[in-house]
Amino acid sequence: MIEVKMKTRNGYKIPVEKALKILKRKMETEGVFDELKERRHFVAPSEKKRLAKKRSEINQKMRERERNGK
């Protein structure tokens, strides 16, 4: 679970806006937003495989271009 403490080490309170910004950053780094995006619509297993294959082909082409360009 993600949590943001409202007090600093010195005992001062953090403004709510800053705490929300910290929370958003933590959620982004842990991939919560990506997971929410994925769960919005059901994707069949066959569709997931097809998309993963397509992504890997694109990545492979990009790696080949980098190798050939250097």
Instruction: Tell whether 65 and 53 lie within a shared domain.
Output: yes
Domain limits for position 5 = 1-39
Instruction: Tell whether 68 and 53 lie within a shared domain.
Output: yes
- What is the percentage of the chain residues whose pLDDT exceeds 90? 59
- Rounded mean pLDDT of the chain? 90
**What SS3 class is residue 41?**
coil
pTM: 0.55
User: Would you say residue 48 has pLDDT above 70?
Assistant: yes
> 10-26, pLDDT tens digit by residue?
888 888 899 899 999 99
User: Domain count of the chain?
Assistant: 2
* Closest CA relative to residue 30, chosen from 7, 4, 6: 4
Query: What does the pLDDT read at residue 70?
Result: 60
